[in-house]
DNA sequence: ATTAGCACTCGATGCTTATGAGTGCTAACG
DNA sequence: CGTTAGCACTCATAAGCATCGAGTGCTAAT
């Protein structure tokens, strides 16, 4: 579809633009080492590339700027994957290794590592809680009428809810309930916890404990708000240093998006296994139409668990970021495999 | 110090400026109802007020702008406290009452209420964990070599840490440890937890449990990172709608500050009981030198527990915000009193 | 004591005019 | 025939300049 020379020129233009954020002219490409053509030749090729939709011109008499299609071609065929230097690799390893024995922490640190190494904004999606299994259940009474229900999953995640104790329930009964629930529900996936609560544990408890129904109801209600707050965003202010965000209104739109967890989750979670790049207008959400989102998945037992992603301007250092995501997602996968060996 | 007329004029100027964010001229003040003087008279008074340091002039032929000293006088002597309408009051009551039986949630919701009702940024400081008392302690083994330690305080706060199990420790020993720790440490303030771990529980455990020292060491290490993450910031993007933040650099400085929890805590926590207003340059931190920070404390048993605050541009609706903070802090105090009756 | 009148200041607005980086086209060149 | 030098053309940006007007300070009249 493109001649070798066109590919070379397109590549040069995009590299230039990524560095400078300014429309690229024929002269500056011509002067590059490795390109043996005069500005006039470059101009002709540029005109062709524009006709084909790979480049755009902000206005006549300005240089060219890559279009979404241009970036797409660049990412699919031209980009040179970056190499990570020792220092960066170490930074990843150290951060991930450092007493990281809880999934929660791994996820959070991943977000930090990504944003600090890339200087863009990172969005990290933790694994779906629903697939985790109940490890331990505990009721802790705080005073006469309230108690905390604590749930520990096999991944080390601890969830807790406060709820109201049914009138007239005694301490010893609470302990009994804790015992029964643990016996009956250990190993049950979180997704089925609420239904099992009634079927398995319900009748057993009914025999030994008074006010059983009220308690179950309270518990059920406490469990229903499954605020699966598994999205971590880091490095939001990195975006503000990008010239494409020198306008406060754009900044606000973007930051407001970061606060909207559900939308953010939809944005990141929709992709299947592996590394994916969504460029500019390829993104659904209006607020990031001049951004690119690169995502990778980490997995356990071959099944993708969650997603790590980097959001930057379309004019993003694709090579570097892709490598970074690749390395980190693999490291995370390894770490999880070791941890759940 | 100021004549009645000067006070009236100063008041009018500040009110005007708060509304418009533009330097205020003599003419617009003169035209106000309630002011029976010509622009010339106003001008003379304005010149005097400037001489006294209450007003400033951006440049010769511009109107006047309140100085820090001006705002200070306004807040101390002139401001009319706002009245909250039924709807706003309801919003507070509903949000706070809604199954709010856990301190954590109260704090977080307070931040949301403040920012949404004021349209500024709210900073809320939770109570110092150190004064809470241990209610329950639980060790939950996840696999052969790791376990989660869970701590529940009397306030319903749940803290959890993952740590490594000493080699060769058995399940039943873990349970024994849990029992001993609960018996020995229940009711101990979090501040003394670590030292008591050795003195009280240590010897007792030594008798019944093997590998006691390693376990204690692990636990101690897990407890030392007392990430007292008690600051909640809400409505950060509200700032971006203020005309004083149309410059991205200022936005970045501010947002970066919001990410620096320790600095933020210092900023908010330094104040004693009651409502306090810190205006512009009165603030220590450079990033908020053109902001005002208004804070109030909520308490339990007469002792201040934490702080709620609103940060806005110096050109802030002081009356409204002060009332809001006053109402909310009192509501929180009441709620806590009821909850720990 | 107040105010009308007036000259003055100075940022903001709008207009015109360079400037120059960049283009497209054509004709010459190897 | 692909490449390139040359040149006219475009157009965003910056610079210069006159104008406008909101606002001031001062003085003299009320």
pLDDT tens track for A211-268: 778 888 877 877 776 656 689 999 999 999 999 999 999 999 999 999 999 999 999 9
Inform me whether the pLDDT recorded for A100 exceeds 70: no
pLDDT tens profile A32-74: 988 889 999 999 999 999 999 999 999 999 999 999 999 999 9
Interchain pair A241, B252: CB under 8 A: yes
Q: Give the span between the Cα atoms of B24 and B56, in whole angstroms.
A: 10
Mind telling me how many Å the CA of A174 is from chain B's nearest CA? 14
Inform me whether the pLDDT recorded for B226 exceeds 70: no
Tokens of A88: 């960066």
Sort out which chain B residues have CB atoms less than 8 A from A156's CB and list them: 142, 146, 148, 162
Number of DSSP helices (H) and strands (E) in chain B, helices first: 13, 10
From residue A15, how far is each of A12, A29, A324 by CA, in Å?
5, 10, 18
Angle between helix A86-97 and helix A103-118 axes, rounded to 10 deg: 160
The residue that leads in pLDDT, B106 or B318, is: B318
Interval B235-240 mean pLDDT: 97
Across the beta sheet with B158-164, what order do the strands follow? B134-141, B146-153, B158-164
Q: Give the span between the Cα atoms of B229 and B260, in whole angstroms.
A: 11
Residue of chain A whose alpha carbon sits nearest to that of B218: A99
From the list B156, B236, B240, which residue is nearest A148 (CB)?
Answer: B156
Mind telling me how many Å the CA of A247 is from chain B's nearest CA? 7
Q: Give the span between the Cα atoms of B276 and B294, in whole angstroms.
A: 6
Decide: residue B106, CB within 10 A, 0-12 exposed, 13-18 middle, 19+ buried: buried
Tokens of A283: 């993104």
Residues lining strand D, beta carbon within 7 angstroms: A 36-38, 40-41, 44, 58-62; B 22-28, 39-40, 43, 46-47, 50, 57, 60-64
Interchain pair B255, A240: CB under 8 A: yes
Calculate the angstrom distance between C1' of C11 and CA of A288.
Answer: 37
- The DSSP H or E segment spanning B296 is strand B291-300
Contacting A with CB below 8 Å, chain B residues are: 101-102, 105, 135-136, 138, 140, 142-143, 146, 148, 150, 152, 154, 156, 158, 160, 162, 164, 236-237, 240-241, 245-248, 251-252, 255-256, 259, 340
Poorest-pLDDT segment among A215-219, B26-30, B185-189: A215-219
Sort out which chain A residues have CB atoms less than 8 A from B150's CB and list them: 138, 150, 152, 158
Q: What is the pLDDT of residue A225?
A: 64
Q: A283 CB contacts (<8 Å, ≥6 apart)? A: A267, A289, A291, A292, A293
**Could you tell me which of B81, B75, B3 has the C-alpha nearest to residue B37?**
B3
Measured in Å, how far apart are chain B's first and last C-alpha atoms? 48
The length of chain B, given as a count of residues: 341
Inform me whether the pLDDT recorded for A285 exceeds 80: yes
Assign 3-class secondary structure to A232-254. EEECHHHHHHCHHHCCHHHHHHH
Poorest-pLDDT segment among A307-316, B19-28, B190-199: B190-199
Q: Which nucleotide is nearest to A39 (CA to C1')?
A: D4
Sort out which chain B residues have CB atoms less than 8 A from A255's CB and list them: 236-237, 240, 255
Q: Which chain C positions have some atom within 7 A of a protein CB?
A: 2-5, 8-11, 20-26
Residue B310 sits at φ, ψ, to 5 deg, of -125, 130
Cβ(B176)–Cβ(B212) below 8 Å:
no
Q: Which nucleotide is nearest to A44 (CA to C1')?
A: C24
Paired residues of B149 in beta bridges: B139, B161
Q: Give the span between the Cα atoms of B112 and A207, in whole angstroms.
A: 44
Cβ(B306)–Cβ(B230) below 8 Å:
yes
The residue that leads in pLDDT, B44 or B338, is: B44
Task: For the beta carbon of residue A100, count every other beta carbon within 10 angstroms.
Answer: 19
Task: For the beta carbon of residue B85, count every other beta carbon within 10 angstroms.
Answer: 9
Give the mean pLDDT of chain B: 90
Give the mean pLDDT of chain A: 90
Interchain pair B102, A162: CB under 8 A: yes
Q: Give the span between the Cα atoms of B17 and B15, in whole angstroms.
A: 5
**Could you tell me which of A79, A228, A312, A160 has the C-alpha nearest to residue B158?**
A160
Residue B44 Cβ under 7 A from any strand C atom: yes
Inform me whether the pLDDT recorded for B225 exceeds 70: no
Q: What is the pLDDT of residue A198?
A: 82
Inform me whether the pLDDT recorded for A194 exceeds 90: no
Q: B297 CB contacts (<8 Å, ≥6 apart)? A: B271, B272, B273, B274, B304, B305, B306, B307, B308, B329
Beta-carbon contacts below 8 Å between A and B: 84
**Could you tell me which of B310, B302, B312, B314 has the C-alpha nearest to residue B328?**
B310
Interval B159-180 mean pLDDT: 85
**Could you tell me which of B194, B189, B185, B187 has the C-alpha nearest to residue B131?**
B189
Q: Give the span between the Cα atoms of B214 and B200, in whole angstroms.
A: 17
Torsion of CA B300, B302, B305, B307, to 10 degrees: 120
Radius of gyration of chain A (CA): 27
Percentage of the residues of chain A whose pLDDT score is greater than 70: 97
Place of tokens 């500040």: B14
Q: What is the pLDDT of residue A205?
A: 78
Tokens of A151: 């749930």
The length of chain A, given as a count of residues: 341
Torsion of CA A277, A280, A282, A285, to 10 degrees: 110
Residue A59 Cβ under 7 A from any strand C atom: no
Q: A269 CB contacts (<8 Å, ≥6 apart)? A: A125, A307
Cβ(B172)–Cβ(B182) below 8 Å:
no
Sort out which chain B residues have CB atoms less than 8 A from A239's CB and list them: none
Identity of the highest mean pLDDT range in A140-149, A152-161, B177-186, B322-331:
B322-331
Q: Give the span between the Cα atoms of B130 and B57, in whole angstroms.
A: 49
Q: What is the DSSP string of B237-258?
A: GGGGGSGGG-SHHHHHHHHHHH
Q: What is the DSSP string of A106-151?
A: HHHHHHHHHHHHHSSEEEEEPPPGGGSBEEEEEEEE-SSSEEEEEE
Inform me whether the pLDDT recorded for B228 exceeds 70: no
Inform me whether the pLDDT recorded for A318 exceeds 70: yes
Interchain pair A251, B251: CB under 8 A: yes
The residue that leads in pLDDT, B270 or A135, is: A135
Inform me whether the pLDDT recorded for A152 exceeds 70: yes
**Could you tell me which of A112, A107, A111 has the C-alpha nearest to residue A126?**
A107
Residue B4 Cβ under 7 A from any strand C atom: no
Q: What is the pLDDT of residue B232?
A: 95
Residue A62 Cβ under 7 A from any strand C atom: yes
Tokens of B248: 């991205």
Q: Which nucleotide is nearest to B51 (CA to C1')?
A: D25
Q: Give the span between the Cα atoms of A135 and A158, in whole angstroms.
A: 10
């Amino acid at each position: 579809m493109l001649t070798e020379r066109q590919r070379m020129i397109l590549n040069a233009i995009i590299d230039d633009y990524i560095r400078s954020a300014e429309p690229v002219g024929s002269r500056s490409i011509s002067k590059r080492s490795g390109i043996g053509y005069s500005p006039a030749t470059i101009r002709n090729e540029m005109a062709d590339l524009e006709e084909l939709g790979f480049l755009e011109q902000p206005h006549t008499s300005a240089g060219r700027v890559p279009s979404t299609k241009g970036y797409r071609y660049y990412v699919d065929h031209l980009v040179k994957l970056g190499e990570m230097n020792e220092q960066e690799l170490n930074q990843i390893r150290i951060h991930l290794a450092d007493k990281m024995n809880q999934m929660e922490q791994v996820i959070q640190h991943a977000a930090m590592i990504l944003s600090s190494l890339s200087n863009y904004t990172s969005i990290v999606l933790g694994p779906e809680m629903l697939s985790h299994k109940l490890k331990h259940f505990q009721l802790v009474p705080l005073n006469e009428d309230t108690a905390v229900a604590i749930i520990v999953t096999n991944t080390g995640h601890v969830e807790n809810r406060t709820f109201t104790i049914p009138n007239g329930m005694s301490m010893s009964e609470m302990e009994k309930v804790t015992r029964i629930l643990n016996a009956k529900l250990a190993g049950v996936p979180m997704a089925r916890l609420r239904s099992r609560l009634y079927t398995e544990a319900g009748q057993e408890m009914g025999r030994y404990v008074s006010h059983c129904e009220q308690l179950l109801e309270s518990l059920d209600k406490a469990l229903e708000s499954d605020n699966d707050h598994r999205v971590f965003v880091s490095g939001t202010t990195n975006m503000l240093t990008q010239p494409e965000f020198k306008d406060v209104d754009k900044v606000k739109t973007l930051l407001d998006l970061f606060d909207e967890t559900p939308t953010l989750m939809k944005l990141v979670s929709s992709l299947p296994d592996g590394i994916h790049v969504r460029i500019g207008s390829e993104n659904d959400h209006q607020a990031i139409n001049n951004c690119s989102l690169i995502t990778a998945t980490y997995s356990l037992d071959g099944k993708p668990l969650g997603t790590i992603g980097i959001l930057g301007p379309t004019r993003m250092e694709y090579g570097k970021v892709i490598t970074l995501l690749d390395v980190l997602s693999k490291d995370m996968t390894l770490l999880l495999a070791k941890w759940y060996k």
